[in-house]
């Protein structure tokens, strides 16, 4: 019997496998972050394909999530970033886009007034997400913390 070899998995397929394994094992994102001594937010983004993982990190995460070798190998591939890997119809993503549409010009003006002409880096960047108890219904606090990069003149 001849078998046709399967093509290797890509980062997006590995992310799908991670989500399935997370549901199956019941492991929380925060616990996965502790496994590799990284923040919950960074680890989640890395496992979803947005950041690089070292062989040691993929092995440790693969063990906790009980992943097969092809998935672990795929987690070590270069990140895949951009709009093609984000489902913009997902309600939370859609609402974040709406927030930027409504407040983007305000954020731009306030950053320029405080720092000058430049941008907020998404490369030298940290994010934090916390639950804020409120008697009218819990709230979500998202902190986006990027380095200010001034435009240079030459």
User: How far is 106 from 38, CA to CA, in rounded Å?
Assistant: 32
98: annotated active-site residue:
yes
User: How far is 151 from 120, CA to CA, in rounded Å?
Assistant: 11
The H or E element that residue 72 is part of is helix 69-75
Residues paired with residue 126 on neighbouring β-strands, in sequence order = 145
121: annotated active-site residue:
yes
The residue from 66, 90, 98, 109 that is catalytic is: 98
Residues 130, 149, 95, 53: is their CA dihedral positive or negative? negative
89: annotated active-site residue:
no
The residue from 24, 28, 90, 95 that is catalytic is: 95
Instruction: Give which of 16, 15, 69, 25 is closest to 47, Cα–Cα.
Output: 15
The residue from 28, 90, 121, 139 that is catalytic is: 121
Question: Which residues, other chains included, contact 145 with Cβ-Cβ below 8 Å and sequence gap of 6+?
Answer: 125, 126, 127, 128
Q: List the catalytic residues.
A: 95, 98, 121
């Amino acid at each position: 019997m001849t078998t046709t070899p399967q093509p290797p998995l890509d980062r997006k397929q590995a992310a799908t496998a991670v989500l399935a394994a997370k549901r199956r094992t019941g492991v929380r994102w925060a616990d996965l972050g502790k496994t590799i001594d990284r923040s919950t937010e960074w680890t989640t983004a890395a496992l979803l394909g947005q950041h690089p993982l070292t062989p040691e990190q993929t092995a440790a995460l693969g063990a906790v999530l009980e992943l097969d070798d092809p998935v672990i190998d795929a987690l070590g591939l270069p990140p895949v970033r951009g709009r093609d890997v984000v489902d913009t119809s997902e309600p939370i993503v859609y609402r974040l886009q709406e927030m930027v549409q409504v407040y983007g010009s305000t954020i731009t003006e306030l950053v320029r007034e405080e720092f000058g002409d430049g941008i907020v880096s998404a490369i030298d960047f940290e994010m934090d997400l916390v639950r804020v108890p409120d008697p009218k219904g819990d709230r979500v606090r998202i902190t986006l913390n990027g380095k200010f990069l001034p435009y240079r003149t030459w």
